[in-house]
Amino acid sequence: MPVQITADSNPLRHESDRRLNRIAGPSGLVIFGVTGDLSRKKLMPAVYDLANRGLLPPGFALVGFARRDWEDQDFMEVVHESVRKYARTEFREEVWEQLAQGIRFVPGEFGDDAAFQQLKETIEELDADRGTMGNHAFYLSIPPKAFPEVTEQLRRSGLAEQKEGQWRRVVIEKPFGSNLRTARELNAVVESVFPADSVFRIDHYLGKETVQNILALRFANQLYEPLWNANYVDHVQITMAEDIGVGGRAGYYDGIGAARDVIQNHILQLLALTAMEEPIAFDAAALRAEKEKVLGAVSLPEDLGSATARGQYAGGWQGGERVPGFLDEEGMDPQSTTETFAAMRLDINTRRWSGVPFYLRTGKRLGRRVTEIAVVFKRAPQHLFADSQTSELGQNALVIRVQPDEGVTIRFGSKVPGAGMQVRDVTMDFGYGHAFTEASPEAYERLILDVLLGDPPLFPRHEEVELSWKILDPIEEFWAAQDGPLEQYAPGSWGPSSADALIERDGRSWRRP
């Protein structure tokens, strides 16, 4: 059994070094669906990066389960290739050799009882040989329709059973259902096998450094929180834009669309973090309670036709190349009414946000890849300055950039140098890459480590998932009842004209990030 290094045995330990509290204890990770893109490009490299940062125990185990006729050595080569190609930290042979000793592979189908028995025996061998002590997380990197079968196999084989002093956890990726009914069915299946606090629903956006910085920005500073309400905020815009099309995901994407794919999970989580009240503690229960209050207070406008917009990207030129339209993508139904762009206005019926609209939008083949939260403030009374002196002055805004250039921008008015008095917009910018020497961990690094630690603040519980579907379901039902083809928008633009009309009806306009 490998030697277990603890904080107490580490000669470099210092009482004030809080990083030591984040090292995972004896444990292993089982990945179902290891042949998929997510596993190859994100999960396996993240495991290596955690090991390289010294955040995994020396005896950590990684088990792959898939429908391949592989031996342990074959899987090890796949992991090695993924790590060398996609890991964010430098490759170190000694780290790889330590990690490779705990790599195993189990071939089989999801319905194969014998394969799950072999998986159980493999885990028991790792407990004995690697000192994983019965602590294992099962990562379901598989289509949602396979969740019930795999969780039932984990129950039947005894793999989900948590003995005294051990833990078993399950990790599931979005989408968490396709509407409220299917989400409830999925939750019932998974939580009939695993306790609620052992179910980790991965939303990789919640692992991004800047998303967590929303909480620090708001609640660790006196500067912003007094203004973070309807007295000073005019509106909030949350944008998640991609500059690529669906590509090879046409078969998956058709029938799901932008709203189900992004708004139900990523964007509504960003909304909840932006609008929530200060939690009583930075722990899972307190954070979830405040997010659930926000999502439960969201209301839809009565006229969904004017308060929502959707469209499909057309073919054309983008970035110097000719790109196909959504309906022309390989494998796409040419009669599809699935949207690649969605926008909507939501209101939050709380004292803090009464009367402040939240505008949400997401789409593919837009002007650039960007995710941001823009808190736009009301205009200051202009008693002192003439209209001609402030003609170039817009509204103050605080913009939280989630990706790709993580940071915060503040837009405010300043005098233009010169003899006269002219005021126009200027910006102050904070970028993570400039302010800190430490590199931000990749989202999946943080989330996998949190799973191994049993630290769930960043993972939505089933109540949040169901509240999100309650918001989106009426909009999806309204859209489904509409006839005719969807509005087309040019690639590289910022969406269909109906999205501009949605916000312009309120006398506002979308930001151009």
Rg of the chain taking only CA atoms, in angstroms: 25
- Report how far residue 193's alpha carbon sits from residue 500's, in angstroms, rounded to the nearest whole number: 47
341 is in an annotated binding site: no
For 43, other C-beta atoms within 10 Å of its C-beta total 25
Phi-psi domain of 364 (left: phi exceeds 0; alpha: psi -120 through 50; beta: other): beta
The verdict on whether residue 242 carries a ligand-binding annotation is yes
The answer to the question of whether 378 is labelled as a binding residue is no
* 425 known member of a binding site: no
| Residue 263, amino acid | I
Residue 156 counted as an annotated binding residue: no
Count how many Cα atoms sit within 13 Å of the Cα of residue 73 in the half-sphere of its side chain.
0
Q: H or E element: which one contains 104?
A: strand 103-107
Distance CA 233, CA 379 (A): 9
Read off the DSSP letter of residue 264: I
Q: What's the full length of the chain, in residues? A: 513
* Rounded Cα distance, 308 and 402, in Å: 24
The verdict on whether residue 174 carries a ligand-binding annotation is yes
3-class secondary-structure state, position 9: coil
Confirm or deny that 15 is annotated as ligand binding. Answer: no
The annotation status of 208 as a binding-site residue, yes or no, is yes
Q: Annotation-wise, does 37 bind a ligand?
A: no
CA 201: distance to chain centroid?
A: 10
Nearest of 70, 71, 49 to residue 60 by alpha carbon: 49
CB 41 within 8 A of CB 86: yes
Indicate the residue type of 510. Answer: W
For residue 26, give the nearest of 62, 59, 64, 3 by alpha carbon.
59
Distance between CA 478 and CA 494 in Å, rounded? 23
| Cα separation values, 243 from 189, 313, 341, 400, Å | 37, 11, 12, 19
Non-local CB neighbours of 229 within 8 Å, separated by 6+ positions: 352, 353
Q: If residue 179 lies in a helix (H) or strand (E), which one and from where to where? A: none
Cβ atoms of 101 and 130 within 8 Å: the answer is yes
Longest Cα separation, the chain:
84
Active-site amino acid positions: 266
Please state, as a whole number, how many other Cβ atoms lie within 10 Å of the Cβ of residue 130.
Answer: 21
Task: Compute the distance between CA of residue 390 and CA of residue 225 in angstroms, rounded to an integer.
Answer: 27
Binding residues for NADP(+): 67, 109-110, 174
Binding residues: 67, 109-110, 174, 204, 208, 242, 261, 364
Binding residues for substrate: 204, 208, 242, 261, 364
